[in-house]
Structure 1
Amino acid sequence: MNSPIRTTWRTHYALFVLAIIYVFNYIDRQLMAILIEPVKAEFGISDTGIGLLSGVTFAIFYTFFGFPLGRLSDRIGRKPVIAVCCIAWSVMTMACGLATSFLMLVLARIGVAVGEAGGTAPSVAMVSELYPPERRSTALSILMLGSSLGAIVGLGFGGWVAQHYGWRFAFLIIGAPGIFLGLLLWLTVRTPAAAPAPKQLMQTPQEGWAKTLRLLFQTPSFVWIALTGGAWAIAGYAIGTWSPSFLIRSHGLSLQEAGFLVGVVGGISATIGTLVCGMLTDRMARRDAGWQMGVPLLGTLISIPCALAYFLWPAGIAFHIGSIQVPTAFIFYSVFGFFGTWWATPCLGAITHLFPATRMAQATAIFVMSMTMFGVGLGPLLTGMLSDYLTPSLGGEALRYALAASTLMLVLAAVFLAMALPRYRAQLAQPTVTLAEPANAVIA
């Protein structure tokens, strides 16, 4: 029988460093959203072009490198892959600020995508090896704060920097800290003692990638969980990418005001929602394993009407935060931000319960690749294309209805979660199922 996983201060320190790195992963990824308008103005590109830059181009390279880097981390260890990739995506983020043409900007964003492909899956796997199953969703919720905290800094601070110093300086100043963080992880964080050393792993016969993929997709519930990630991400990335532009075009806000509301206010709401979701999932899943899928289903069902109200509510100011105007519609976005985070952490937690350590990062990589390929790749692009298509008839309000249409994917995500729930519960009830809990995983 596996010994229980013991946590020490080094465990929590490792989680802290990984969480900060994940924050900058999302800062560098989301920064483009607040810089859409000035980048469009400088290079003279359309909404479709922006969708290609922030969506398809990023997604193709992120997806192509995601599984190999996840597989590499399963073989040689999580820490070296995360550290090197963190330094790489940070350097390429700074390169975005030095781009003198749209092509150079595209190439730099490709570099960001390749680096970030090695961030999420190994980080989730490493956190899962550090904490016991009954505390795993809470630990993962702390890691996943990166998306909401990244929005706070990337959109809030990034918008302020761009407003006062230009969009190029925003890329430079926000990309730099990641180089230090990659070195900090490499030099100060210790990995679980039970994790085999790289030489040991290289001497062990390795499972072929084709066999691994077949076993992953033969796992009950995993396909539905991966499809959930793709459907949710299409809507989520469309909303996250285009919300600042929507507030500027439909509600008359400035770049700085839009960045503050979507980044800071929306980010705080999402941060609280992520923490509540993690603790709620751990608590409810101890009573019934099905709640691992039930919590994200509940959050999705609440998110749908909130998103529609946000996009379709007429222009009008509810109140001010200092000198910043807060549209009435934005109140619904704050509620959406709270419940809209309830899908990712439980789904990632479910994957860590379904697979052993030797497949965990690869399974997580497939889930993240589904999110990226469909979400990052299609979400911003399809919304931008629909906005361009509707512009001749709707003018400045075209983006409003293009975004409202994207919420249809949330309905599909709810269906996928409903399909995954009974299959996940049944699989964990089987006595032959292998939970992903390494033996004697103690920080050394």
Structure 2
Amino acid sequence: MNQSPPVTWRTHYALFVLASIYVFNYIDRQLMAILIEPVKLEFGISDTGIGLLSGVTFAVFYTVFGFPLGRLSDRIGRKPVIAFSCIAWSLMTMLCGMAGNFLSLVLTRIGVAVGEAGGTAPSVAMVSDLYPPNRRSTALSVLMLGSSLGAIVGLGLGGWIAQHHGWRYAFLLIGAPGIFLGLLLLLTVRSPQRVTPLGVVPAQQDNWVKTLAELFRMPSFLCLVLAGGAAAIAGYAIGTWSPSFLIRSHGLNLQQAGFLVGVVGGTGATVGTLTCGILTDRMARRDAGWQIGVPLLGTLISIPFALAYFLWPQGTAFIIGGIAIPQAFLFYSVFGFFGVWWATPCLSAITHLFPATRLAQATSIFLMSMTLLGVGIGPLLVGMLSDFYVKGMGAESLRYALASSVSMLALASVFLALALPRYRQQIKNPAVLPAPVRTVTA
């Protein structure tokens, strides 16, 4: 629904900077996963307490600030919101390493959540402003590499730093680069020109309740939001607790678990993200329904591999660099490739449904669902199930708690299947034809 300026080297440079920022967005968010065990030990908290710290606390504040910052981005431009948000969450990540007690750690994590609320949705909207529709899924797949590359650095490097220097240094050292990246975006990247239909009232002048109502009138949008929320519950639960699962059920240490989940699993997710983006652009040229069909296919394939990963018994497949690779982890490698196929195409689908004056807000709703349900409920649900299963499962309680979370991927598949025909119909027969346009600064 949006036109885009010509793609030049400046376009690709802007995407590179945005993708780099998103890498550290995800590093700072995911770092807590590899630090669960030492933080538990120092502050003496339960799995449920960890779930509250890494889940609900983060998610609530991310959600509260996500939509207002999305509206601000639609009003004043994407670049300043992203840049200052990046600087803010990076400073708060560093302060996490200075926490003197559990309460102060909770407060600094809240600060990270507020900062990150202004990062992803405006970034997706800015990429949409930069690239034409037929190249958007590929461009967004590059942006969304941040989640998998962030896992590689956050879990791999974070685990190494924590193992050798303590968990506080992990927060301090990994938080610092984001300050530089925020300044780099602010000073070296040009704001793209975006196209707004003539006669359309700018989104910032509308009442926010009216804006929300208009967004949800789009038939496929609610299905996409629900699909993203369900998939995120499983995704964040698995991402948060996998290192602890490998430590408790397969005997790995902190550094080894961080390396496997971060570097090996993150590499598979990186390749999977690029693959689904390129495949979606290619297939959607033939039939718009593939924009939803690709994430549906990937999610369905990922389910049996996730279950095999959690339920496979102990056993070593082979040894690499002194690390005994569990047989179960081979299934995680495949899951990591297909388990990320839902995110990028769904975000790209939203960019095709809404004009520039609504795009950051629509994207923020999708991301708020992912965060409130995924980050908020996913880790907490698994933590509570793990504590509940202890009576019957003992030391293996986390294994079965994680296996239970895979059911949410099946629910996400149902919502994607419902969204597919609605989305195809909307793209073929849009309710409102594009109006004449005028150019404004993004």
* 1:175 matched residue in structure 2: 175
Instruction: Pick closer, same or farther for the CA change 1:59–1:300 going to 2, 3 Å.
Output: same
Q: Distance in 1 between matches of 2:436 and 2:345?
A: 17
Equivalent residues of 1:356, 1:436 under 8 A apart: no
Which residue does 2:419 correspond to in 1?
420
Does the 8 Å contact 1:82/1:182 carry over to 2? Answer: yes
Is the CA contact (8 Å cut-off) linking 1:141 and 1:274 kept in structure 2?
yes
Name the CA shift for 1:278/1:50 in 2 (closer, same or farther; >3 Å).
same
User: Aligned with 1:221: secondary structure?
Assistant: helix
2:17, 2:293 → 1: CA distance?
A: 30
In structure 2, the partner of 1:396 is 395
Work out the CA distance in 2 between the residues paired with 1:390 and 1:407: 16
Residues 3-402 of structure 1 mapped to structure 2, 5 A cutoff: 5-194=5-194, 206-402=205-401
Structure 1 CA distance, aligned partners of 2:433 and 2:217?
A: 14
Paired residue secondary structure (1:253): coil
Count of aligned pairs between the two proteins: 439
Q: Which runs of 5+ in 2 are unaligned?
A: none
The alpha carbon displacement at 1:3 in A equals: 6.3
Contact map agreement 1:133 1:437 (CA 8 A) in 2: no
Residues 60, 376 of structure 2: 8 Å contact kept: yes
TM-score by length of 2: 0.96
> Sequence identity of aligned pairs in percent?
76
Q: Secondary structure at the match of 2:219?
A: coil
Determine helix, strand or coil for the equivalent of 2:325.
strand
What letter is aligned with 1:325? A
Supply the AA of the counterpart residue of 1:167.
Answer: W
After the TM superposition, which parts of structure 1 deviate over 6 Å for at least 4 consecutive aligned residues?
A: 201-205, 435-443
> Where do 5+ consecutive residues of structure 1 fail to align?
none
> Displacement of 1:100 after TM fit?
0.6
Q: Is the Cα contact below 8 Å between 1:357 and 1:437 reproduced in 2?
A: no
- The letter of the residue matching 1:375 is G
Structure 1 residue 441: Cα displacement: 8.9
Map Cα deviations across residues 262-305 of structure 1 (whole Å, 9 max, x no partner).
00000000000000000000000000000000000000100100
> Structure 2 CA distance, aligned partners of 1:265 and 1:436?
48
**Cα 1:134/1:17, change in 2 over 3 Å:** same
How far apart are 1:5 and its partner, in Å? 3.2
Match of 1:400, SS state, is helix
Secondary structure of the structure 1 residue equivalent to 2:313:
coil
The CA deviation at 1:411 is: 0.5
- Contact 1:51 1:381 (8 Å CA) reproduced: yes
* C-alpha contact (below 8 Å) 1:6/1:442 kept by paired residues: no
- Distance in 1, matches of 2:215 and 2:30, equals 30
Partner of 2:429: 430
Structure 1, residues 164-200: CA drift from partner, whole Å, max 9, x if none?
000000000000000010000000000113479xxxx
Check whether the contact 1:4–1:440 (CA below 8 A) recurs between aligned residues.
Answer: no
> How far does the alpha carbon of each residue in 1:318-346 deviate from its partner, in whole angstroms, 9 at most, with x for none?
01121111100000000000000100000
Shift in Å, 1:439: 6.6
Deviation at 1:234, TM superposition (A): 0.4
TM superposition shift of 1:218: 0.7
Q: Name the CA shift for 1:360/1:434 in 2 (closer, same or farther; >3 Å).
A: farther
TM-score where L is the length of structure 1: 0.96
Judge conservation of contact 2:90–2:179 (CA < 8 Å) in 1. yes
Change (3 A) 1:204 1:111: closer
SS of the residue aligned with 1:320? strand
Q: Is this contact kept in 1: 2:156–2:259, CA < 8 A?
A: yes
User: 1:420-439 CA distances to partner (integer Å, 9 max, x unpaired)?
Assistant: 00000001111544579987
